Amino acid sequence: MEIIQYSEEHRMFRESVRKYLEKEVIPHVKEWEEAGIVPRSAWKKLGDQGFLCMDVPEEYGGLGADFLYSVIMTEEMTRTNHSGLATGLHSDIVVPYITSFGSEEIKKKYLPGCISGDIITAVAMTEPNTGSDLASIKTTAVEDGNEVVINGQKTFISNGINCGIVIVAARDPAIDSPYNAIDLYVVEEGTAGFEKGKQIKKIGWHSQDTAELFFTDCRVSAGNRLGAKGSGFLHLMRKLQQERLVCAIGAVAAAEFMLEITIQYCKERTAFGRPISKFQNTQFEIVEMATEAKIGRTFLDKLIVDHMEGKNIALDVSMAKYWTTDMACRTADRCLQLHGGYGYCEEYPIARAWRDIRVTRIFAGTNEIMKGIAAKFMGL
C-alpha cells in the first residue's frame, strides 16, 4: 500500500504540469542558464496556469488546494533540471508567511499577485556574517511613528533580482533578547532605501537570480509587519518545518531523476561490445543508489503525510533534510562517474544536476546545523 494516497485529480494535475513544463520550460532552460536569470514572463505564465500558491484560500484568489499539489509541483520542477523558476521557494516557503501571519490588508494587497505570477517573492534572512544563526542577525528595524526604518544588508537571497516583494527579518535594537527582538516585514520593490545589489555568481544554480539586498533608511508602514511585534523569530521557527520538508522533497526527486537518466545512459552506452549496464560494477552502483532513493522516498512520504496531519515533525524533518540532501549528492557523484568523461560535459544533463545539487546541503540550515537540532530534540 502506498504511503501517500494520491487522488485521480492529483494524478491529472501531475500529468498537466509535466506536459506544460516539457513544452514551456525545458526548451528554455539552456537559454536561462546562460542568461543567469529567468524572465518574469515565465513566472506569469505559470500563474496563468494556476501553478503558483495553490494552497492559498479561495477568498484571496487561490485554489485552497492541499499540500500534495505543492509536492507534485516541486517534484516536477525538479525534473526540469534547473533552479531559476524556484516555485517551491515562492509558493511553499515565502508566501505562507503572508497567508499565516499577514493582516487582512496585507493578504488582500499581495496574495492575488503572488498567485497570478505578477509578484515574485523572496525572503531575506541570511546576512554576510550570519547564516544559520538567525538570532544573530544585525539588520535593524526602528519604529518611527507609523513607520519602521530598516537598515542592513542581506546576502544569498534567492529570487533577489526578480522579487517584487521581499520578507525581511530585522531586529529592534532596543530589545536585548534576540528571540523577542526579531520581526518580519514586507518590503516592496522600488521602496526608497531598498536596493538590489549585484547578482551573485555561483558554481551552480546559474539561472537562479541569487543576489545581495541593501536597506538604507528604508521606510515601510508599520502595518507591513507580519504578526504581533516581537513574533518574527517564532514565525520563522514555525515555518522552517515546511521549508526543510520542501528541501527534502526536492532532494529525493533529484536523486530519482539523476538515477533515471543514468540508467538510460548506461543501457545505451557500450564498451567492449556490450552496454555498460551489463557490467557488474555498474549494476551494483545502480542498485545501491536505487536502494538509497527508495529509503529516502519512504521516509519522505511518511513525513509528508504527518505534515499534512498537522503533526510536529521538527526532529524528523531535520534528519530528513540532512540525509536526503547528502544522499542526493552521493547519487550525483556516482551517476556522473558512470557517465565517464561525458558526465563532465555540459551537453549531458547529469553535469548540471551534479553542479546544482551541492548547495542543498548548505541552504535552509546547513546539514551540520540539522544534526545539531536533532541532537537537542534527542536530549543529547
Condensed to tens digits (0 to 9), the pLDDT of residues 37-78 reads 999 999 999 999 999 999 999 999 999 999 999 999 999 999
Q: What is the arithmetic mean of pLDDT over 157-174?
A: 96
Instruction: State whether residue 266 is helix, strand or coil.
Output: helix
Instruction: State whether residue 165 is helix, strand or coil.
Output: strand
Give yes or no for residue 157 having a pLDDT over 80: yes
Q: What is the arithmetic mean of pLDDT over 312-316?
A: 95
Query: Measured between alpha carbons, how far is 241 from 155 in angstroms, rounded to an integer?
Result: 22
Note if 31 is an active site residue: no
- Where are the chain's structural domains? 8-119, 123-230, 233-377
| Mean per-residue pLDDT over the chain, rounded | 96
Superfamily name and number for 123-230: Butyryl-CoA Dehydrogenase, subunit A, domain 2 (2.40.110.10)
C-alpha closest to that of 161 among 47, 35, 45: 35
Confirm if 135 and 233 have CB atoms less than 8 A apart.
Answer: yes
Q: Could you tell me what percentage of the chain is helix, strand and coil, using 3-state DSSP and rounding each to the nearest 5?
A: 55, 15, 30
Task: Judge if 8-119 and 233-377 fold alike in CATH terms.
Answer: no
What is 219-263 written as a DSSP string? EEEGGGB-SSTT-HHHHHHHHHHHHHHHHHHHHHHHHHHHHHHHH
Condensed to tens digits (0 to 9), the pLDDT of residues 336-365 reads 999 999 999 999 999 999 999 999 999 999
Cell of 186: 514586507
Cell of 106: 496585507
Quote the pLDDT of residue 179. 86
Length of the chain measured in residues = 380
Query: Measured between alpha carbons, how far is 320 from 129 in angstroms, rounded to an integer?
Result: 27
Quote the pLDDT of residue 131. 67
Give yes or no for residue 378 having a pLDDT over 80: yes
User: In this structure, what are the phi and psi dihedrals at residue 114, rounded to the nearest 5 degrees?
Assistant: -65, -35
CA–CA distances in Å: residue 308 to residues 65, 155, 235, 247, 302: 12, 32, 18, 16, 10
Fold for domain 233-377? Butyryl-CoA Dehydrogenase, subunit A; domain 3 (1.20.140)
| Residue located via cell numbers 504581533 | 228
DSSP 119: S
Cell of 225: 509587519
Between residues 281 and 1, which one has the greater pLDDT? Answer: 281
Q: Which of 33, 127, 212, 243 is catalytic?
A: 243
Q: Which CATH number describes the domain made up of 8-119?
A: 1.10.540.10
Query: Measured between alpha carbons, how far is 259 from 332 in angstroms, rounded to an integer?
Result: 8
Cell of 192: 526608497
Percent of the chain with pLDDT over 90: 94
pLDDT category of residue 176 using cuts at 50, 70 and 90: confident
DSSP 91: I
Query: Measured between alpha carbons, how far is 82 from 353 in angstroms, rounded to an integer?
Result: 8
- Report how far apart the first and last C-alpha atoms of the chain are (Å, whole number): 36
Give yes or no for residue 134 having a pLDDT over 90: no
Condensed to tens digits (0 to 9), the pLDDT of residues 227-246 reads 999 999 999 888 999 999 99
Quote the pLDDT of residue 178. 81
What pTM was estimated for this model as a whole? 0.95
Residues in a beta bridge with 157: 211
C-alpha closest to that of 307 among 55, 1, 51: 55
Burial 18-49 (b: 16+ CB within 10 A, else e): beebeeebeebbeebbeebbbeeebbebbbee
**Amino acid, res. 297:** R
Q: Which residues contact 96 (CB under 8 A, 6 or more apart)?
A: 55, 239, 242
